[in-house]
Amino acid sequence: MTKARNHSVTIHVDGRSFQADAQRNLLESCLSLGFNLPYFCWHPAMGSVGACRQCAVKQFKDESDTNGLIVMACMTPSAEGTRISIDDPEAREFRSSVIEWLMLNHPHDCPVCDEGGECHLQDMTVMTGHVSRRYRESKRTYRNQYLGSFVTHEMNRCIQCYRCVRFYRDIAGGEDLNAFGSRDRLYFGRMQDGTLENEFSGNLVEVCPTGVFTDKTLSHHYSRKWDMQSTPSICSHCSVGCNVHLAERAGIMRRVTNRYHSRINGYFLCDRGRFGYEYVNHPQRLRRPAVRPSRENSAPLISLSPAEALARLRSRLSERKRIVGVGSPRASLESNYALRTLVGREHFFSGMSIVEHRDASLILQILTDGPAPSWSIQQVEQADAALILGEDLVHTAPRLALALRQSVREQPMEQLDGLNIHRWQDAAVRTALQGQRGPLYIGSVAGTSLDDVATRTFRGSPCDIARLGCAVAHEICHDSPRISELTSEESALIREIARALASAKRPVVAVGAGTGEAWIIKAAANVAWALHRRGVAAGLVFAPHECNTLGLSLLGGNSFEQTTAIEGDRDRDALLILENDLRRRLETATLNRWLERFDPIIVIDHVDDAILDQAGFVFPASPIACSDGSLVNHEGRVQRFFSAIAKEQDVQVSWRWIQDIGRVSSLESFHAMADWTSLEQIHAAMAEDFPVLRRIGEAAPPAQFRIAGQKIPRAPHRFSGRTVLPVLETIHEPQPPHDPESPLAFSMEGTPSQPPSPLVPFFWSSGWNSNEALNKFQDEVGRSLHNEHLGIRLLEPQPDARSRFFENPPPRYERRNNQLLLVPLPRLFGSEELSARASAIQEQIPKAAVVLHPREADRLGLRKGQAVDVTAPGLTRRLPFETDETMAGGLAGLRLTPGGVSVPLPAWATLKGAPSP
Amino acid sequence: MTIDRRPLTEQIRRNGPPPTLCEYEDRGGYAAIRTMLTEMTPEEVQREVTDSNLRGRGGAGFPTGKKWSFVPMGDDAPRPKYLVVNADEMEPGSFKDRVLLEGHPHQLIEGIIIAAYAIQAECAYIFIRWAYRRSALALERAIREARESGLLGHDLLGSGFNLTVHVHTSAGRYICGEETALLNALEGHPVIPRAKPPYPQVSGLWGKPTIVQNVETLCNLPHILAHGAEWYRGLGKGKDSGTKLYAVSGRVNRPGVWELPIGTTVREILEHHAGGMQEGYAFRAMQPGGGSTAFLTDAHLDMAMDFESLSSVGSRLGTGTAIILDDRTCPVGFVRNLEHFFAQESCGWCTPCRDGLPWVERLLAALDSGDGRPQDMDILERHVTFLGPGRTYCAHAPGAMEPLKSALEHFRSDFDRHIDERGCPWAKTGTDE
């Protein structure tokens, strides 16, 4: 939605006059004004369809009209002078009748329903005042379906609001969930039992107003909403930085829910973000420091207390050893900065592979030097033309892919004014616009999840995709380098794309870093810059690899493989690895050779799998979900996350371990961090070191922030069992855990007021127990939060920059004899390290495989079921193969799953059918 | 074509095949479109039909010319435009479109050509219910004949106007009578009415300008064009123009369908044409326009069967096909049967209709089986109000409430007797069912 012009009108509600927005319907206006008007089928992100009839109000023609007519608030515009009554007895009675109808068949199973206590249907029932049952017949029942490891299905509870199918089909583009049947025998489900195919299926849990779709992972360690402590955090499973609420009870992470952010995730999360949290509960998560007495014979690690482990480390570091530090794109900005401070700029390495490091630096350079801004997810949703280059973004930045899917509706929406239809009239909009879609072009190595809404797609090697982008840029602005050797078909497509982008008002170029080809990123920049030269305000959106890739890049340093540049003959240096499994970045033999140069090797992490055999010291870090810090997302926005679980004994946030290690080392640089006791002190130091980070402290209120002297309670006021939980250990009620790092408290005591938006621990309001309480936290429903802090955007473009285009684009991709170009195929489930440890996600991880176009498989003489031997520099693997019609010819896709491959891709590979066993 | 007081049905043979193309043309058929295509502009056709004061015969009685006037015309109008013929006749008690479909398909095709030309639609769909097999076959045969003679297809009679006509046999649901639900069905979507606006005239089938028209309405067009608006206006008896297909079902001596001047009185239809009540049965009430219209009683027998007269007493002309309630049939059972139909035909989109109608049906069943309670009457009354216009998404539930509402007015004592006597008094005395 383009920022609304001032459409202020006066409406009269129950005899009082209010200002409202003419662009909105009466339900939205009433909710924004703070009235309690019940509803089901309307959703702020999905608009109105008028199905449930719950938001009925009485509308009067004018002051003299005393009879009035019942209208649905969600279907009626807030026009100047509109007179309505919410309190009108007939309207009240009608609303209560709607609940009565819905309750004819709704089971009274609230006590055993996972939704109980946070059920919108419960809230609305209470709101309308319907209490006693007059219907004498028996209730309708259904058979439920198995929908996979994420979502539980209980159809008997359904009140037929159609929200699920509207989200799943219209918003997320899913096809395997539908409304079946008619009259009072409707069924919302799949054709048959089976895992929901869509990558955003978890949102059904939140859009369903009652307990039809519930969180299956929560049910494995169930707790009521009122019994969970909830904390505002940032999703760490990709670079988008969606805002989440993490809920905990008794030290166990229970679930993730959406935390509305008006510029990023809005109302929806992806399934990786929602269900990937269980890595926190992983039984093998590191919780004790450990020491390996000998590096030889891969001796086992021995658990020690922190003091003992540090004492042993002191003896190893006493000889004025240098420490080489390896940072991590999945660790906080503060921990990485602490490491850099301790080891010094020249000994600090980013911990990213050469390819990741190069791509991240390139993105930073483009966003700081060029004229094109990086766009937020919300801006992408409003783009009226889009070009996607690279991979299937749903696997690397899923929420971005969801935004791009919405963007195709923007251009057709321009007709609505002429048709006198408001955007919120969802059913009318879809009728009027039918399947019309705005321009979306995709250049990728294989089919993508957005192909169904694409205007046209282009398939080719990463080089070819980059050339396509560069050629589009040249077509838009001839100063941009020319591409030779284009076929006439390619030239026609390029002209079409260029025309679509150049004639748009808000075009966006979206790029994933998942192909490993830097030229794709450069080509995207060329397109956006060419558009700026033509006066088109184009945006760029990148999908770097991990949750803090850009933040880490801001701290400088080289890729860790470049440590070879350090002279280290005198003695072996110590190596300090921060939250990083280097085996994912570098092929094992090379890594092992490289590690020979270091002793001791110190690892700070929470993932047991990430511990190298060579590691001599292991210190248990608290994961992002259990610590405090900052992350920089894909657009360069720094956001704060807070710890969802009280500090565990022996476990601490990485920067504190780094400080402890500094203390036992003999490094002078330690003095710079010796006094750090809070994030605020680190922020001050960072601001001094890095001008770009000067505002980092403003991302959220500091630890000292209080409301009327009180902290913000993580536990709701109805939290129960506080004294019972520890009863096996002690009958005394322990002190609530201390939380010096943030203004939040692990307690139900504290301010009852709404805190600034980054600190909102849960959405809850009087009479609104479900997540729909969010309405009460927004200035206007569906818009900004009260007291909104959006995080700090660090990278703003140079609007007047006349940046030079990237020159010398790559030549056309030539296939080689007997070789195929091996390209990475990242997967939503499996390619990201932490979520792949969550049990619900593990069930959905596809097998590692080589993916080929059927023609290539035939050329290689591969038979169905045969394995393939893949040989590339540094890589020898035997893998199953699969064919995919959408794969570009001349390529072999490598599906990246846990324990995948750690060589730089794309790379030339030889593929041979393995001999039959 | 001779000037007849029964232009629509005159050429229909009782128990015989429909007129062939040759037979129709011999009696003046397709002459109107020959003139139209060579001498009239679409605007002139629209004006003629507007002047004729033809109102839609599907039930709502919307003026046809006015409906057409909302269609975007001219060179920059969206293309293609569609004409959709609603032949999904499913109103309880209605069988008048079937007579026209089976008896004279060429008349309908000529009407389709005229309407399509008036709005410059290049494609027409006849949406016909599956049970009208014989009608579909007759239509297909007639369309083939017309196409072979250059009356349909590319460049009609050398006029440069193109028109393709498709017959779409539907699975048939009552809600398909709602024009936007019909469009959804035609597109292959669940049969749920659409939000309005946008109206189909602007954004209908596949988002293009579309007119949905009832069979009988279209059959009037050839005669209006052949004889002029003034002639057509003269056919009616009251304010309305033309003739109307009236029908009567129930315990009358001669149930059937007749083409009569619109505005003929109830009594004339009932006594003269339907032959009065069968022996041993007395007239109690009637639904004048099909299952979704309010009951009339003997106090209304001298009313004219036209749009305004019936509206003035709280009922509707609807399809003009009356159902008679006699004294030996239980009115509660009669209404229960209707509500069973309407509950079953609800599309399931909006709450009051989806869940309210089955409750109404079950309450009536409870009354019938002797399980009724006095408070059930309040619940029924409440449904009459809360399933009324504006409360529901479309007109289905309000239509379903019309017979119930009027039954509660006219037969309240019969409802009460069901409660007091713990069952249906008719069941005890024995009906002939």
pLDDT at A377 over 60: yes
More confidently predicted of B433 and A814:
A814
> Pick from B198, B358, B390: which is nearest to A421 by CB?
B198
Strands A629-632 and A440-444: unpaired
pLDDT at A1 over 50: no
Q: Give per-residue pLDDT as tens, B55-95.
A: 999 988 999 999 999 999 999 999 999 999 999 999 999 99
Region B11-20: mean pLDDT is: 93
Give me the residue spans of the domains in chain A: 8-103, 110-118+133-281, 357-544, 820-913
> Are B198 and A431 within 8 A, CB to CB?
yes
Cβ of A415 under 8 Å from any chain B Cβ? Answer: no
Chain A environment of B362 (Cβ under 8 Å): 137
The residue of B349, B359, B364, B394 whose CB has the most chain A CBs within 10 angstroms, and thus the best one to mutate to test that interface, is B349
Chain B environment of A421 (Cβ under 8 Å): 197-198
Q: Answer for the pair B68, B118: CB distance below 8 angstroms, yes or no.
A: yes
DSSP letter assigned to residue A95:
H
Chains A and B: how many Cβ contacts under 8 Å? 110
Percentage of the residues of chain A whose pLDDT score is greater than 70: 98
Chain B environment of A436 (Cβ under 8 Å): 207
Q: Give per-residue pLDDT as tens, A438-473.
A: 999 999 999 999 999 999 999 999 999 999 999 999
Region A263-280: mean pLDDT is: 98
How far is residue A532 from each of residues A473, A501, A797, measured CA to CA in Å?
A: 11, 11, 12
Give the N- to C-terminal CA distance of chain B in Å, as an integer.
46
pLDDT for res A428: 92
Region B388-414: mean pLDDT is: 96
Q: Give per-residue pLDDT as tens, A716-751.
A: 999 998 888 888 888 888 888 999 999 999 999 999
A812: tokens are: 């056309």
**DSSP bridge pairs for A383:** none
pTM score: 0.96
How far is residue A710 from each of residues A338, A476, A704, A706, measured CA to CA in Å?
A: 30, 57, 10, 5
B105-119 and B31-39 helices, crossing angle to 10°:
10
At the second CATH level, the architecture of A820-913 is Beta Barrel (2.40)
Q: Give per-residue pLDDT as tens, A541-566.
A: 999 999 999 999 999 888 776 766 55
pLDDT for res B2: 42
Complex ipTM more than 0.85, yes or no = yes
B105-119 and B133-148 helices, crossing angle to 10°:
60
CATH of the structural domain A357-544, one choice from 3.40.50.300, 1.10.3480.10, 1.10.443.10, 3.40.228.10: 3.40.228.10
Percentage of the residues of chain B whose pLDDT score is greater than 90: 92
> Are A184 and B349 within 8 A, CB to CB?
no
Percentage of the residues of chain A whose pLDDT score is greater than 90: 84
Cβ of A108 under 8 Å from any chain B Cβ? Answer: no
**DSSP bridge pairs for A639:** A631
pLDDT at A321 over 90: no
The residue of A53, A76, A125, A430 whose CB has the most chain B CBs within 10 angstroms, and thus the best one to mutate to test that interface, is A53
Cα gap A887→A862, rounded to integer Å? 16
The residue of A42, A159, A424, A431 whose CB has the most chain B CBs within 10 angstroms, and thus the best one to mutate to test that interface, is A431
> Are A70 and B355 within 8 A, CB to CB?
no
> Pick from B173, B196, B362: which is nearest to A137 by CB?
B362
Instruction: Provide the shortest C-alpha distance from residue A411 to chain B (in Å).
Output: 16
Q: Answer for the pair B133, B101: CB distance below 8 angstroms, yes or no.
A: no
Chain A environment of B352 (Cβ under 8 Å): 53, 97-98, 101
Omega within 30 of 0 (cis) for the link into A740: no
Cα gap B185→B172, rounded to integer Å? 9
> Are A71 and B390 within 8 A, CB to CB?
yes
DSSP readout, A141-158?
A: --------SSEEE-GGG-
Cα gap A559→B355, rounded to integer Å? 64
> Are B393 and A53 within 8 A, CB to CB?
yes
Instruction: Provide the shortest C-alpha distance from residue A91 to chain B (in Å).
Output: 10
Q: Give per-residue pLDDT as tens, B96-132.
A: 999 999 999 999 999 999 999 999 999 999 999 999 9
Q: How confident is the model at residue A215 (pLDDT cuts 50, 70, 90)?
A: very high
Region A499-524: mean pLDDT is: 95
Q: How confident is the model at residue B234 (pLDDT cuts 50, 70, 90)?
A: very high
pLDDT for res A68: 95
> Pick from A56, A102, A425: which is nearest to B355 by CB?
A102
pLDDT for res B172: 79
Chain B environment of A432 (Cβ under 8 Å): 198, 203, 207
Q: Give per-residue pLDDT as tens, A105-151.
A: 999 999 999 999 999 999 999 999 999 999 999 999 999 999 999 99
> Are B359 and A104 within 8 A, CB to CB?
yes
> Are A421 and B362 within 8 A, CB to CB?
no
Structural domains for chain B: 21-235 (3.40.50.11540), 243-326 (3.10.20.600), 331-429 (1.20.1440.230)
Region B291-295: mean pLDDT is: 96
Q: Give per-residue pLDDT as tens, B245-269.
A: 999 999 999 999 999 999 999 999 9
> Are A427 and B358 within 8 A, CB to CB?
no
Q: Give per-residue pLDDT as tens, A570-600.
A: 568 899 999 999 998 888 888 888 888 898 9
pLDDT at B49 over 50: yes
* Closest residue of chain B to A39, computed from CA coordinates: B351
User: By C-alpha distance, which of A378, A380, A404, A379 is closest to A391?
Assistant: A404
Chain A environment of B173 (Cβ under 8 Å): 182
User: By C-alpha distance, which of A647, A654, A667 is closest to A737?
Assistant: A647
Q: What CATH topology corresponds to A8-103?
A: Ubiquitin-like (UB roll) (3.10.20)
pLDDT at B204 over 60: yes
> Are A183 and B207 within 8 A, CB to CB?
no
* Closest residue of chain A to B203, computed from CA coordinates: A432
- Cβ density class A612-622: b for 16+ within 10 Å, e for less: bebbbbbbbbb
Instruction: Provide the shortest C-alpha distance from residue B81 to chain A (in Å).
Output: 14
pLDDT for res A449: 96
Region A321-347: mean pLDDT is: 95
Q: How confident is the model at residue A200 (pLDDT cuts 50, 70, 90)?
A: very high
User: By C-alpha distance, which of B73, B3, B50, B42 is closest to B235?
Assistant: B3
DSSP letter assigned to residue A104:
T
Cβ of A253 under 8 Å from any chain B Cβ? Answer: no
pLDDT at A320 over 80: no
> Pick from A50, A56, A93: which is nearest to B195 by CB?
A50
A646: tokens are: 């009280």
Q: How confident is the model at residue A916 (pLDDT cuts 50, 70, 90)?
A: confident
Instruction: Provide the shortest C-alpha distance from residue A804 to chain B (in Å).
Output: 44
> Pick from A70, A184, A425: which is nearest to B354 by CB?
A184
**DSSP bridge pairs for A290:** A303, A618
Cβ of A186 under 8 Å from any chain B Cβ? Answer: yes
> Pick from B195, B197, B386: which is nearest to A97 by CB?
B386
Chain B environment of A184 (Cβ under 8 Å): 343, 346, 348, 354-355, 358
Region A188-208: mean pLDDT is: 98
* Closest residue of chain A to B349, computed from CA coordinates: A51
pLDDT for res A569: 54
Q: Answer for the pair A807, A481: CB distance below 8 angstroms, yes or no.
A: yes
